[in-house]
Chains A and B, each alone.
Chain A
Amino acid sequence: MVISRQLKEKGMRSFFFLIAFASVAILLAITIFLFREGIPIFNLVSVKDFLFGIYWYPTAEPPDFGIFPLIIASVSVTLLSACISIPLGVMTAIYLAEIAGPRTRELAKPIVELLAALPSVVIGFFGMVVVAPILQNTFNIPVGLNLFNASLMLAFMSIPTICSISEDAIYSVPNALREASLALGATHLETILRVVIPAAISGICTAVILGMSRAIGETMVVLMVAGGAAMMPSSIFDPVRPMPGSIAAEMAEAPFRGNHYYALFATGMVLFIFTLVFNLIADHMSHKYRQVGDATL
């Protein structure tokens, strides 16, 4: 009786252990299948030409598979959106964690969560039908679907990520630090800027990196509002074609297991590696630079 109970316990334990590895297994499977379908393109073009070639004409004859313009588009859209989302997200987090009263906080946190839940296709739709014409008229530009519009929409997709993670980090800074600072005669603002934020900085950085990782991988928004021209942008009002948008737009028409198909999978590989690196940095930071207090990131 006791033996069978112990056996059952062991069985349950190993069962749960196996299932807990599902996430790792899926991640591995994603890696394997991306590489399996993406690697064959490198029989045709070298890795260097693929990454740094500046012409992306996958359907021309002969085709050009250089994804440099797509990478530049992804990076510039992400950086520009970060210029908007980092200040807004972090300032909102500071407000919610340090300044707002409990009532405002209770009301505002769900709003941030709802903002995170807005489906990306709806944000993209909004950018197309509302923001694009406004941009076109205010700045007097030929197309409203461009780098700037995409960055704007992406910023509002990454703000919730940045805001809620940095809010957690700021909120979990121990109160003793604040009290000590105030006791020394610092104002509330000085306490926030010189004590609380430095104490929470690793959490805030993690938040920023995860937010940017979300922005660079976001698909529907860039597919719908970035304009779709696979060229090097020369101004922020130029249409661009970031990597996710390119994959989503062209996969349907790429012949199965043709070069175009392989090239799109290889683009997916590059995108996957980008976000993986972002996430590993974020993970490393939140573990290595454990913040003061009992933050759980």
Chain B
Amino acid sequence: MNSSRVETMNHFPAVEAEEERAMIKNSQPRLTDSLIRRRRFFQKVLFQLFRSAAGINGIVLLVVVFYLVYNGWSAITWTFLTQAPTQMMTKGGIFPCIVGTFLLGVGALTVAFPIGVASAIYINEYAHPGKVLRIIRLGISNLAGVPSVVFGLFGLAFFVIYLKMGVSLLAGALTLGAMSLPVIIGSSEEALKAVPNTYREASLALGATKWQTIWKVVLPSAFPGILTGGILGLSRAAGETAPIMFTAAVFFTPRLPQSVFDEVMALPYHIYVLATAGTEIEATRHLQYGTALVLIFLVLGLNLLAIIWRARLRKKMR
């Protein structure tokens, strides 16, 4: 369906030109000629405008990434990646932040992935269109729109204070999990939708129950697609700062977290504090660039992985 559509699209200019040529032959040549030229010119100008708008987006991404790579490259050494900060944060590395971000991301995913996939299964396999489904969808779309700082406040009030978890890895992971839930539900739903209905019908016709069909037929064929959703959720959780500011992250801890109730250091928060609140903002500039570069590599790398994986899946499906 996709490719045929594109072909018709490409025919348009040709069809147009033919029609116009016919028109010029048949009716008053001069008037139509100038009119067509004007319309053509207008089209050219506006199309160029649209094209440059698209170009600007690409350029911005490239500029940001290249600028950070250019400035941060020299900061990234083996020591930088594997050592803790030393000398009042002005020297040393970011190892504890990498560990913290990794743990927060994995923790968030452990909570959000099963819940997200199960929600998507209900929505796509069990639910019938109606009020209940409408409420669930409204809940998901509104959850996706909640500002990240509000998630932070919620995490502080609920996990940190009400459930008495304190500022901890656990509280941060749960907050991030709540935040990345809509992302995971969305991608899992898309993956489930892509499973052809004939699979389900064949399984049911063989006498399998609905659950058996989902577990043995639908989920295995949707699994790779669901996994891309997990990767996107992980990258979202790893890159966010505001939700962990009050729930999990601290500027400095002398040791790596020993339990889920310990505070952690995290990459995004590290960048923020070094760039704004440090006593020697200029002196740590190269550390900031380095940390930003590591975070970008992590987040964009995960996304790129998901995008490539999905593109391959779509090709296979066809």
Interface residues of A (CB under 8 A from B): 5, 8-9, 12-13, 15-17, 19-24, 26-27, 29-30, 33-34, 36-37, 87-88, 91-92, 94-96, 98-102, 106, 108, 110-115, 117-126, 128-130, 156, 159-160, 163, 175, 178-179, 182, 185, 187-190, 210, 213-214, 216-220, 223-224, 244, 247-248, 251-252, 264-265, 268, 271-272, 275-276, 278-280, 282-283
Q: Binding site of A, secondary structure by majority: helix, strand, loop or mixed? A: helix
Which A residues are CB-close (under 8 A) to B152?
219, 247-248, 251
- Determine if A20 and B303 form an interchain contact, defined as CB atoms under 8 angstroms apart: no
CB < 8 Å: which of B121, B275, B307 contacts A110? B307
Cα–Cα distance between A122 and B241 once the two chains are bound (Å) = 10
- Determine if B299 and A187 form an interchain contact, defined as CB atoms under 8 angstroms apart: no
- Determine if A219 and B149 form an interchain contact, defined as CB atoms under 8 angstroms apart: yes
Which A residues are CB-close (under 8 A) to B151?
30
User: Given known contacts A118-B64, A219-B147, is B295 in contact with A224 (CB within 8 Å)?
Assistant: no
- Determine if B123 and A100 form an interchain contact, defined as CB atoms under 8 angstroms apart: no
Q: Mark B83-112, 1 if CB is under 8 A from A, else 0.
A: 000000000000000000000000000000
- Determine if A20 and B5 form an interchain contact, defined as CB atoms under 8 angstroms apart: no
CB < 8 Å: which of A27, A118, A179, A185 contacts B142? A27
- Determine if B10 and A220 form an interchain contact, defined as CB atoms under 8 angstroms apart: no
Minimum CB distance partner of B120 in chain A: A20
User: Given known contacts A122-B292, A182-B15, A185-B19, is B139 in contact with A115 (CB within 8 Å)?
Assistant: no
- The 16 listed contacts between A and B (C-beta, < 8 Å) are A12-B210, A23-B139, A30-B154, A88-B53, A111-B57, A112-B57, A113-B303, A117-B303, A119-B268, A126-B68, A217-B146, A220-B242, A223-B276, A244-B149, A282-B141, A283-B141
20 extra A-B contacts, CB within 8 A, seeds A8-B209, A27-B146: A21-B139, A23-B181, A26-B181, A27-B143, A29-B158, A33-B162, A87-B53, A91-B50, A95-B51, A118-B299, A119-B296, A121-B271, A122-B64, A130-B67, A189-B42, A218-B148, A219-B241, A244-B149, A272-B147, A275-B146
